Structure 1
Amino acid sequence: MKRTTLLRFVLAVFIGISQTVNGQTKEIRYRYETSLKALSNDKLAVRLKIEGFSEDSLTYCFPKIIPGIYGAMNFGQYVSSFEVFDKKGKKLKTEKTDVNSWKIQDAQRIASVSYLVDDAWEAFDDKMIGGFYRSAASSFSDSSFVITPNSLFGYFRGHINHPIEVSIRKGINLYPATSLKKTVKPDHDLFLAKDYHQLVDNPILYALPDTTMIQLPGISVEVACYSTSGKRISKDIAEYIRPLLINQTKYLNNKLPVDRYTFLIYHSLAPNRTHIIGDGLEHSNSTLILLYMPLDIQTIRQNIYGIASHEFFHTLMPLGLHSVEIENYDYNEPVFSKHLWLYEGMTEYFTMHMPIKTGLRTDKEFYKIVEGKIADMKHFDPKLAMTDLSLHPMEMQDQYYNVYLKGALINLCLDIKLRELSGGEYGTKDLVLDLMAHYKGKAFEDKQLFPEMINVSGYPEVKEFISSYIEGTEALPLEEMLLKVGLKLEDGKISEVENATAEQLKLRKDWLR
């Protein structure tokens, strides 16, 4: 899945953004408090201490949507008993203006905000609801807490870039796994974020300790798990993920955009294999993975592998390479980028391509995955341009999954095209790394990415490909492209061409080896 927010974790000196009130400068800093020990009827009480505003009125919001998902979640629907107070404890006048927003009068007097938050799901099971992304929402129980900050903590509109402190009281045995900067104490923990974007970008898993560290050159990875079975599973999963991370690092020319990462894994015990479900949401320095399956370590491994690979590749895009629309994300009135073909399509293609490129998958296994994408793509509208779907994903939920199908196949064709133009030396992976180096962590203008792709790659022929297959609706030239590497596509099946030329065999080797 997605998402993504998109500012890298930078631990900075927390110099708050200030406002001048009556000639004096006051720092604005969000200070949140909650207690897991006070869980009542699946609700947590949250208190925010904040002051320093100069406006006559302000609106306090919870996100309608967050990066990485493309359906309205309306996190304000889980909030009740919303109240605002001044320093003397006097209640200020508030008005609920929509499901996610409260307007507050006399905003200069704001000293604290309090409310209750209900969890959005009780258990991760097979009772799926269309358009509801449980990996973006929170779940509370006595033994574990899946905390997505966008569910618990809101922001004042126009004041999203202030530093944030979160203090969480807890049971003495609970351990908080997260990539947020944290101070862990026996009875409470303190978390720091430089702004609301970074807070939302870092989920927290509270549970009995079950963590395993993976130390690799240039990166430290924590695997933190909770299983409703009560069994410890992190060590086995970490051992399985380790080779994946090593090979992904090799695939990316030993250039990783992050130096630490956290996998947060919540496993819900399923009675059988009839409905096995995996759900993941990527973040800049972590991925939250929800699993519904039996306590069979081989089954868990197999499902985690694909999710972990896809989500970890998201550290490249959109987390490392993204547009202004994503960097300046509006949680309540989002404006979408037209480049889902890159954010999700390229990521999915890398997930397919990396295992065969690093020797983890055979040619036939790779061909079968491609065949599956081709077959599944036929269930979606062939006349819907990928850029149009990207700009209107909330209105086109029934077409959205095609970004993992047609989006991946677009990049397969583009990879072969680039390798043909470069004599096998240059492909989509090189293009992405070059674009990241070109933008140097800065967001790009949405309409400028295509011209820069042509410029950075050095191949003007890419323009026609973009116009025809990404912005346009021409049928993907799968047969033509596969034939260039000595492969034949007939009736949805891929086979090797008999008596393939030396040129075809070389291009295939450059592409897959």
Structure 2
Amino acid sequence: MKNSILCFIIVIITGCASLKNKPSYQTEITYKYSINLNNLKNNQLSVQLNVNGFKDDTVQFCFPKIIPGIYSAADYGKSVEKISFKDKQGNLLLNKRIDVNRWEIYGSKKLTGVSYTVNGNWEEFNHSKWTGEYYMTESSFKDSCFVINHNTIFGYFKKFEKSPFEIQVSKPGYLYAATSLKSSMTPLKDVFYARSYNQLIDNPVLYAIPDTTNITLPGINVQVACYSNSGKPMSKEIANYIRPLLINQSKYLGGKLPVSRYTFIIYHNERKDSKKVMTQGLEHANSTLILLNAPLDMAALKESVYGTASHEFFHIIMPLGIHSYEIADYDFNDPKFSRHLWLYEGMTEYFTIHMPIKNKLISLDDFIEVIENKYKAMQKYNNDISLVDFSLNSMKLDDQYLNIYQKGPLLNLCLDIRLRELSDGKFGAQDLVFALLKKYGPDKAFKDDQLFDEIVKICGYPEIGGFFERYVKGHEALPLEETLKKVGLNMKDGKITKNENLTDEQKKLRYAWINQ
């Protein structure tokens, strides 16, 4: 994009189906929430919850401190005011606010209702505070548009995260809801259903004047839903622009996707003070929320959405289809982190840069430039930290986080070529991911500390265990130069040149790697 700067904050959040061998949760209650979008006052919504069935004398009502994909405390309870807990006669129950996100309720066997107000987190964007702000995890309330991230509006009871949710939304007739949640919709009232809190917060909702376009692909329907405060409809142009991308991504994934429905929610705030294009993307299991803070320049907006979608859509495989218990049973107030950001983000970004060359959409020279740019960007970070240590301590290393999009794909490039070399070209990174998806999938998590051994069993090459020991668990520098040499590419001081006199072995390995 000429005369513009594209800033990405790409994070992941995933909600998983009920899992085999999952931890024990109580599920005796059903959450029945209601809000009324017609009654927005002072940027606040009133929230009502009907619930009963508690068997203990005390219970904790919570909002998340943090959600998957962000690496510092966001404290979503900060927006809650005027909270009260009542029995069926309307009597107030004693409670104590433990911290900004949690309330201890006494006499909870009698609890039947909770009410409170929540503040919208933003109306438009503060340009000077864009970087480091998690707008894409928060909610916005305006009469013309509501961006609903459920973690900012609806709380949960500790130990009852796996109970089902029903969300009833009264609304003006001119607003339409776009979401991947299961729903029942009428002109003035919508009801959304989620099997757990995890699934609820994994499915944001956009309420706006209808501007939606559907993209039908084999086995999946993709909806593009847009809102722009400029008043310009844009979903058709954006959908037409990203449709070829989604077709090629589906082809790259073998045409078999783990979801049948996907929603791109796009919110555009028109900037008139700058030509900067600022983007935040939040990936979910069945949707992506994209926030654009940019001038009304459709070419730049389409390119920005394309860049975000090219990465985020691949997340339907990782971590939706392949994930550990640390992600599947995420503790929103005391999370345990997985070792495997190299897979969730690193492999996803590798697929993002590998798909165009594998599907012959770009030239080898273009692909070389992408690799060089990743390598150059990687040098800005501390590469002495092992990827496992980085992943487990990502909250403490948030200033290093964006390196996962540089070092991560380069690691997986090396892994892909090594697998192809060991298998005589027959088995690579794509095949490994498909095998993991078959073994685990959305309904079955893996044990975090056992994945490396499982990968060795799946691919059948003990040498891959050594690869993980050295470059993922260990601190050794990536073997990028020696790996690229195996496919006839010479790398020196970050620059890559093509060897024009390839051996038969190099030709075969390069073709297996990138079809060229």
Bin of the TM-score, shorter chain as denominator length: over 0.9
Q: Distance in 2 between matches of 1:356 and 1:8?
A: 34
SS of residue in 2 equivalent to 1:173: coil
**AA partner of residue 473 (structure 1):** H
Residue in 1 that maps onto 2:393 = 392
The match for 1:506 among 491, 500, 508 is 508
Question: 1:261 Cα deviation (Å)?
Answer: 0.6
**AA partner of residue 6 (structure 1):** G
Residues 300-351 of structure 1: per-residue CA shift (max 9 Å, x gap): 1111112112111111111110001111111111000010010010001101
**AA partner of residue 512 (structure 1):** I
Residues 226-255 of structure 1: per-residue CA shift (max 9 Å, x gap): 011101000111111111111011101111
Question: 1:269 Cα deviation (Å)?
Answer: 1.0
Q: Distance in 1 between matches of 2:140 and 2:325?
A: 32
SS of residue in 2 equivalent to 1:265: strand
Is the CA contact 1:8–1:284 (under 8 Å) kept in the aligned structure 2?
no
**AA partner of residue 41 (structure 2):** S
Q: Distance in 1 between matches of 2:89 and 2:187?
A: 32
Question: 1:132 Cα deviation (Å)?
Answer: 2.7
SS of residue in 1 equivalent to 2:128: coil
Residue in 2 that maps onto 1:306 = 307
**AA partner of residue 485 (structure 2):** L
**AA partner of residue 473 (structure 2):** E
What does residue range 318-467 of structure 1 map to in structure 2 within 5 Å? Answer: 318-441=319-442, 442-467=444-469
Aligned residues: 500
Residues 160-188 of structure 1: per-residue CA shift (max 9 Å, x gap): 11111101111110000000111111111
Q: Distance in 1 between matches of 2:243 and 2:316?
A: 17
SS of residue in 2 equivalent to 1:509: helix
**AA partner of residue 481 (structure 1):** T
Q: Distance in 2 between matches of 1:121 and 1:505?
A: 54
- CA shift in 2, pair 1:361/1:272, >3 Å: farther
Q: Distance in 1 between matches of 2:132 and 2:280?
A: 13
Is the CA contact 1:125–1:268 (under 8 Å) kept in the aligned structure 2?
no
Residues 465-504 of structure 1: per-residue CA shift (max 9 Å, x gap): 1011001111111110111110111221111013222221
Residue in 1 that maps onto 2:16 = 7
Q: Distance in 2 between matches of 1:17 and 1:446?
A: 24
- CA shift in 2, pair 1:347/1:365, >3 Å: same
- CA shift in 2, pair 1:18/1:430, >3 Å: closer
**AA partner of residue 362 (structure 2):** R
Is the CA contact 1:6–1:318 (under 8 Å) kept in the aligned structure 2?
no
Question: 1:121 Cα deviation (Å)?
Answer: 2.0
Give ranges in structure 1 of 5+ residues lacking alignment: 11-15, 20-27
Residue in 2 that maps onto 1:24 = none
SS of residue in 2 equivalent to 1:399: helix
What does residue range 263-302 of structure 1 map to in structure 2 within 5 Å? Answer: 263-271=264-272, 274-302=275-303
Q: Distance in 2 between matches of 1:136 and 1:7?
A: 18
Is 1:242 the equivalent of 2:243? yes
Q: Distance in 1 between matches of 2:417 and 2:249?
A: 20
- CA shift in 2, pair 1:71/1:140, >3 Å: same
Is the CA contact 2:27–2:160 (under 8 Å) kept in the aligned structure 1?
no
Instruction: Using the aligned pairs only, state the percent identity.
Output: 51
Give the alignment's TM-score, normalised by structure 1.
0.95
Question: 1:69 Cα deviation (Å)?
Answer: 2.1
Question: 1:8 Cα deviation (Å)?
Answer: 4.3
Question: 1:275 Cα deviation (Å)?
Answer: 2.3
Residue in 2 that maps onto 1:154 = 155
Question: 1:129 Cα deviation (Å)?
Answer: 5.0
Q: Distance in 1 between matches of 2:423 and 2:357?
A: 21
Give the alignment's TM-score, normalised by structure 2.
0.94
- CA shift in 2, pair 1:69/1:105, >3 Å: same
Is the CA contact 2:149–2:201 (under 8 Å) kept in the aligned structure 1?
yes
Question: 1:440 Cα deviation (Å)?
Answer: 4.0
Residue in 2 that maps onto 1:103 = 104
Residue in 2 that maps onto 1:209 = 210
SS of residue in 1 equivalent to 2:33: strand
Is the CA contact 2:50–2:112 (under 8 Å) kept in the aligned structure 1?
yes
Is the CA contact 2:276–2:295 (under 8 Å) kept in the aligned structure 1?
no
SS of residue in 1 equivalent to 2:398: coil
Q: Distance in 1 between matches of 2:30 and 2:407?
A: 45
SS of residue in 2 equivalent to 1:225: strand
Is the CA contact 2:84–2:92 (under 8 Å) kept in the aligned structure 1?
yes
Structure 1 window deviating more from structure 2 (300-309 vs 149-158): it is: 300-309
SS of residue in 2 equivalent to 1:498: coil
Q: Distance in 2 between matches of 1:430 and 1:277?
A: 35
Residue in 2 that maps onto 1:13 = none
Give ranges in structure 2 of 5+ residues lacking alignment: 1-9, 20-24
Question: 1:458 Cα deviation (Å)?
Answer: 1.3
Is the CA contact 2:26–2:159 (under 8 Å) kept in the aligned structure 1?
no
Q: Distance in 1 between matches of 2:253 and 2:265?
A: 23
Structure 1 window deviating more from structure 2 (129-138 vs 287-296): it is: 129-138
Is the CA contact 1:376–1:405 (under 8 Å) kept in the aligned structure 2?
yes
Residue in 2 that maps onto 1:73 = 74
- Runs of 4 or more consecutive aligned structure 1 residues displaced over 4 Å after TM superposition: 16-19
- CA shift in 2, pair 1:492/1:466, >3 Å: same
Structure 1 window deviating more from structure 2 (152-161 vs 417-426): it is: 417-426
- CA shift in 2, pair 1:419/1:324, >3 Å: same
- CA shift in 2, pair 1:272/1:427, >3 Å: farther
